[in-house]
Amino acid sequence: MSELITQNTFNVRIQKQDLEQVIKLADLLVQEITITIDPEGLTIRTMDPSHVALLDIALPNSLFEKYEVNNQINFGIRTKEVLDLVKEFDKNDFITMRIDADNNLILENHELSYSVRLIESVENNCPLPKIPYDSLVTIPGNDFKKYLGKLNVVSEHLTISTDIHICLLESKGDPGVCKIKLEKGMEQLIEIVTKQNSSGTYSLEYLIPYFKAMLSNCSHQLEFSSQKPLRVNSKIFNTGRVHFYLAPRVEN
C-alpha cells in the first residue's frame, strides 16, 4: 500500500492532454510507476525491465492551472489503469488530482470523478547517465517520425552519424539499405553541433513508439557519442520536459 499521504496538501489541476501525454510515455516502458510531486512540480523517472531505455519526465508547477502542494509526495499507480480513466475526460478538460481520506487518487472535473487505488511506491533506482555528448541534432517531430518509419522497412535498428554539416540516418537489413541525409541549412535539420564525428546504433523498437506517443508539434534534440547511450530531449507544451535515454546496440 502507498505511504499515507493525506496529511499533506496535494490538490492540483492540469489539462487532460498534458496528463495523458506523460502517463502514455511512461506506459511505453513499464506497467507501474511512482509519481513524485513536490512544491516545484511533478516528476516521473522509470526504466524498462531490460534496462535498455530510461525515461525522465519533469512538469514544473507553472504548467498546472492550480497547484497546492506543501511537501514532497510519492505515490504509485498502474499506468494503463490511470491512462484508461484519463482518456474518458473530454479533450479540453482540466483534471483535478488529489488524494482522498482513504488514500486513493481522485481524478475529477466539475461533472466526472474517478477514484483509483494507489499501489506501493518504489524508491527511484534509476540514476541518470552522466555522458559528455559529442554530437547534437535537432529535428522536427513529424519529420523524424516519418524517417523512422522509412528506416524500419529494412531494419529494426537505426544508425545515426554526424560530421560538421551532415546528419546521416541509416538502416541495414536483409531487404537492403535505407539512407536519409540531412544537411545543415535544411528545414528538416534545425540544428547540428558536432564536437567530434559520432556514430551510434539504436533500437527502432523503442524509438518508434516514443515518437508516436509524443504530440506532433514537438521538436526533438538528439544527443549522442559513438557507442554511448542516445539522449532525446523533448519539450511538453513549452515548459515541461522529457529526457529519453536509449542504450546503444552492442554488436556481437
Cα separation of 32 and 238, whole Å? 27
Give, for all 252 residues of the chain, the pLDDT tens digit: 444 454 567 899 999 988 998 999 999 999 999 999 999 999 999 999 999 999 999 999 999 999 999 999 999 999 999 999 999 999 999 999 999 988 899 999 999 999 999 998 876 677 888 888 999 999 988 889 999 999 999 999 999 999 989 999 999 999 999 999 999 999 999 999 999 999 999 999 999 999 988 876 677 899 999 989 999 998 876 678 899 999 998 764
Q: Indicate the CATH number of 135-246 among 3.30.360.10, 3.40.640.10, 3.70.10.10, 3.40.50.300.
A: 3.70.10.10
pLDDT of residue 4: 47
* 41 Rama class: left (phi>0) / alpha (psi -120 to 50) / beta: left
Cα separation of 21 and 212, whole Å? 11
Question: One fold for both 10-117 and 135-246?
Answer: no
Question: Which neighbouring-strand residues pair with 98?
Answer: 11, 106
Cα separation of 176 and 174, whole Å? 6
pLDDT of residue 8: 60
The pTM (predicted TM-score) of the whole model is 0.90
The class of domain 10-117 in CATH terms is alpha beta
pLDDT of residue 122: 72
For residue 97 the three cell numbers come to 488530482
> What is the domain partition of the chain in residue ranges?
10-117, 135-246
